[in-house]
Amino acid sequence: MPDDETTPGAGRLVLAATPIGQVDDASPRLARELVAADVVAAEDTRRLRRLATSLGVTLPARVVSYFEANEAARTDELVSLLRTGATVVLVTDAGMPAVSDPGYRLVEAAVRSGVLVTSVPGPSAVVTALAVSGLPVARFTFDGFPPRRAGERARWLAELSAERRTMVFFESRHRLAGTLDAMAAAFGVDRPAAVCRELTKVHEQVRRGGLGELAGWAEQEGPLGEITIVVGGAPAPSDDGGGLERGLELVRERVAAGSSRRDAVAEVARELGVSRRELYAAAVDDQR
């Protein structure tokens, strides 16, 4: 049902996930929504028509293109239709619209206009690669495509070097070797990772190993197809006790100088890279 923020009489924007490889992964609801739509906006209209043929459905709706080059101009047109009560289904070439694909701009505008936004869930290269990578899945980040320019990419990766969660990236096959090499430099050659290629397709391949090893493999093999990279998070900083002892000394000094214990612990933990929780517990025991 529409929520309290939707405008009475407004239509629906349906973000419809499409298969990333096997057409059999398409949900029955995807076919129903395509048939029921007033307008279908597609990243590639030719690919959409091939998908519809594979699903055995005819598209009675008006079909329009919606891709990076016309996204800004077409968003206003689609929102106008949504305001009048139309149902607009948005599809991209593969996976969920708006996730490193066109769609976010339209979703933002639709929400701002009080239009109901819903989705047809389905295949996603992000979670599929994460699941098969063999790396921790409890907490993860998705960082999309790394910057193309080497210097900008190196700085961008350096900012991620301390990230503790598993990281998922997309990358072009043409830049794969260079990106893996840059990741090895930023994260360490032994950081565990997986390169997932052509997921769910006939030539699916998952290559696992350290970033240095994977960079060498990519340089030599030049793998083809759609690429998703999964990289393990940074290891927890080791502490043999010396860091806590030094931290406790600094906390004593700052408390004596007038700082609160809580503020002193927060500052020192950040400076030394030790656990704030453990340092705070040590400081409480020290006072006792």
Tokens standing for residue 271 = 């400076």
Residue ranges with strand state E in 17-67: 39-42, 62-65
Give the residues across from 193 on adjacent strands.
209, 231
Q: Is the CB of residue 13 less than 8 Å from the CB of residue 86? A: no
Pairwise CA distance, residues 192 & 189, whole Å = 8
Phi, psi of 257 (to 5 degrees): -85, 0
Looking at domain 12-123, does it have CATH number 3.40.1010.10?
yes
Structure tokens at 235: 């290891």
For residue 13, give the nearest of 79, 105, 101 by alpha carbon: 79
110: left (phi over 0), alpha (psi -120 to 50) or beta: alpha
What is the distance of C-alpha 167 from the center of its chain?
Answer: 8
* Gap between the terminal Cα atoms of the chain: 57
10 Å CB burial of residue 99 (0-12, 13-18, 19+) is middle
Could you read off the pLDDT of 164-213 as tens digits, one per residue? 999 999 999 999 999 999 999 999 999 999 999 999 999 999 999 999 99
Per-residue pLDDT tens digits for 134-168: 999 999 999 999 999 999 999 999 999 989 999 99
Mean pLDDT of the chain: 92
CATH topology for 126-231?
3.30.950
Per residue in 100-135, pLDDT (tens digit) is 899 999 999 999 999 999 999 999 999 999 999 999
Locate 260 and state its tokens. 């609160």
pTM for this one?
A: 0.78
pLDDT at 214 over 50: yes
Give the per-residue pLDDT at 285: 81
Full DSSP string of 229-243? EEEPPPPPPP--SHH
| Of 127, 78, 60, 124, nearest in space to 97 by CA | 124
Give the residue from 67, 116, 111, 73 showing the smallest Cα distance to 92: 67
Percent pLDDT > 70 in the chain is 96
